[in-house]
Amino acid sequence: MHPFSKTKIAVLSELMGAGDLTVSGGALCLSLGLTRQAVWKAVNALREDGYVIESIPHKGYRFVSLPKNDLDPSLIEAFLLDCPWGHPVLYWESLNSTQVPAKELARKGAPEGLIVTTSYQTSGRGRLGRRWVSAPEGGIFFSLVIRPVLPPESIQLLSLVSAMSVQDALFTLHGVRCQLKWPNDILWENSKLCGILTEVSSEPGLVHFAVTGIGINANSSNVSLDEGSETVSLSSITGKKIHRGELIAGVVRYLHGAVRGLEAPGGMKRALDEYSSRCDTLGRKVRVVSDEGEVIGEAVALGEKGEIIVRTKDGTQTFTSADVNHLRALG
Ligand code: BTN
């Protein structure tokens, strides 16, 4: 991270942490190991980004309010101050797809945990070559560079833990209990709230990097996120405006823990068991559309690499990559 943005984020985090209280310049210098001039420069830079910070003569600084842009990169980094991921966060007002710069930067050696986010995507990408439509405002679109120590053939597990991380963050921050549709859709009452796309660069035996792109219909309503599915927005569920930066940080924090857990001894089996116990697709009648055509059956289990196993009238079939539709009832 650039040393100045590190200072800015540390100052921001101290001021926000103090809430309504005034923090003296001296106390900031002492706790952060900075000069008075460095603190003053950081406060001014934050003001330029839209933070309102009061200077109270002989007392110090008081945090008043956040910038209008709830995707401000310093803020997301401050939320993730104690997390190894999320440094840096790169923000563009508009991008074709957050996957594009994230993959490019990963190829050039970007650190694990780098986040690319934007307010608007002009050519958002979904799974299976689909488009991901960006609402004009209020959506969450971000991509995260991950360097997982996993065998390439088990990389699907990364998608499964990503979905569980979104589910956990939605519950912790907003009290919303969502369903998981295999492999990585997040549904709320059968409508799609979030989609995840994981793209991987690997060679036999080695994953170079993965870029996990997450789209959440946060504040916008009545948008079609991908082609052909009913959608719902988080704000329409909670009745509140969603702070997008806070939610991105929440997801990234869970995902960091989940990926490290996946890499630990026995971690892949634990993640599979956990996903199986949460997955709404298992035990349901499903229609599976894959390169081989369409089948209808019951989703009965997951394979050890995260594939879905479907029992049909002709026996069981295993799918690694497919589009699954939940059908209303078994019969
Ligand atoms: C899907 O459900 O098909 C996956 C959708 C993934 C969308 C996200 S939005 C952020 C990132 N950038 C993209 O272009 N796609 C992913």
Answering whether pTM is above 0.85, one says yes
149 Cα–ligand 1 center, Å:
23
For residue 304, being part of any structural domain is answered with yes
C-beta of residue 113 within 8 angstroms of C-beta of residue 84? yes
For residue 34, being part of any structural domain is answered with yes
CATH code for the domain of 288: 2.30.30.100
Instruction: Name the residue range of residue 16's domain.
Output: 6-65
229 Cα–ligand 1 center, Å:
14
Residue of the CA atom closest to atom 9 of ligand 1: 215
Same-domain check for residues 195 and 254: yes
Of 115, 178, 194, 214, the residue with max ligand 1 atoms within 8 A of its CB, to mutate for a pocket test, comes to 214
Instruction: Locate all alpha helices (DSSP H) within the chain, ordered by sequence.
Output: 3-17, 25-32, 36-48, 73-79, 99-107, 156-174, 234-238, 244-263, 267-278
197 Cα–ligand 1 center, Å:
5
Same-domain check for residues 160 and 178: yes
In order along its 331 residues, the chain shows pLDDT tens digits of 455 688 999 999 999 999 999 999 999 999 999 999 999 999 999 999 999 999 999 999 999 999 999 999 999 999 999 999 999 999 999 999 999 999 999 999 999 999 999 999 999 999 988 898 877 678 999 999 999 999 999 999 999 999 999 999 999 999 999 999 999 899 999 899 999 999 999 999 999 999 999 999 999 765 555 555 688 999 999 999 999 999 999 999 999 999 999 999 999 999 999 999 999 999 999 999 998 899 999 999 999 999 999 999 999 999 998 999 999 754 4
Task: Determine the pLDDT at residue 311.
Answer: 96
CATH code for the domain of 138: 3.30.930.10
For residue 263, being part of any structural domain is answered with yes
Residue 108: closest CA among 56, 145, 55, 153: 145
Same-domain check for residues 158 and 196: yes
Q: Measured from the CA of 194, which atom of ligand 1 is nearest?
A: 2
Same-domain check for residues 127 and 255: yes
Helix/strand/coil for 324: strand
Q: What is the spatial distance between Cα 135 and Cα 118, in angstroms, rounded to a whole number?
A: 12
C-beta of residue 286 within 8 angstroms of C-beta of residue 181? no
Task: Determine the pLDDT at residue 31.
Answer: 92
CATH code for the domain of 59: 1.10.10.10
Q: Measured from the CA of 96, which atom of ligand 1 is nearest?
A: 14
Please give the helix or strand (H or E) that residue 317 lies within, else none: strand 315-319
Of 91, 97, 99, 132, the residue with max ligand 1 atoms within 8 A of its CB, to mutate for a pocket test, comes to 132
Same-domain check for residues 112 and 220: yes
C-beta of residue 252 within 8 angstroms of C-beta of residue 162? no
Same-domain check for residues 160 and 291: no
Q: Which of 65, 87, 114 is the last residue of a domain?
A: 65
Task: Determine the pLDDT at residue 224.
Answer: 53
Q: Which residues line ligand 1 (CB under 6 A)?
A: 97-99, 121, 124-127, 130, 132, 141-143, 185, 195-197, 213-215, 226
159 Cα–ligand 1 center, Å:
12
Same-domain check for residues 295 and 271: no
For residue 170, being part of any structural domain is answered with yes
Q: What is the spatial distance between Cα 123 and Cα 102, in angstroms, rounded to a whole number?
A: 15
Residue of the CA atom closest to atom 11 of ligand 1: 213
Q: Measured from the CA of 99, which atom of ligand 1 is nearest?
A: 12
* C-alpha 240 chain-centroid distance: 20
Q: Measured from the CA of 128, which atom of ligand 1 is nearest?
A: 3
Q: Is the dihedral of CA 222, 223, 227, 232 positive or negative?
A: negative
Same-domain check for residues 96 and 120: yes
Task: Determine the pLDDT at residue 227.
Answer: 56
Q: What is the spatial distance between Cα 170 and Cα 234, in angstroms, rounded to a whole number?
A: 9
Task: Determine the pLDDT at residue 20.
Answer: 92
The total domain count for the chain is 3
Same-domain check for residues 80 and 225: yes
145 Cα–ligand 1 center, Å:
14
Same-domain check for residues 323 and 248: no
147 Cα–ligand 1 center, Å:
19
Neighbours of 19 (CB within 10 A): 8
Q: Is the dihedral of CA 45, 46, 47, 49 positive or negative?
A: positive
C-beta of residue 323 within 8 angstroms of C-beta of residue 289? yes
For residue 47, being part of any structural domain is answered with yes
Q: What is the spatial distance between Cα 218 and Cα 232, in angstroms, rounded to a whole number?
A: 9
Provide DSSP, 182-247. TTTEEEETTEEEEEEEEEEEEETTEEEEEEEEEEE--S--S--SBTT--B--HHHHHSS---HHHH
For residue 142, being part of any structural domain is answered with yes
Same-domain check for residues 160 and 212: yes
Q: Which of 235, 251, 277 is the last residue of a domain?
A: 277
For residue 182, being part of any structural domain is answered with yes
Same-domain check for residues 299 and 194: no
Distances (CA, A) of 65 to 52, 70, 249: 5, 11, 19
99 Cα–ligand 1 center, Å:
8
C-beta of residue 305 within 8 angstroms of C-beta of residue 154? yes
For residue 1, being part of any structural domain is answered with no
Q: What is the spatial distance between Cα 5 and Cα 11, in angstroms, rounded to a whole number?
A: 10
Q: What is the spatial distance between Cα 163 and Cα 221, in angstroms, rounded to a whole number?
A: 21
The residue type at 23 = V
Residue of the CA atom closest to atom 2 of ligand 1: 195
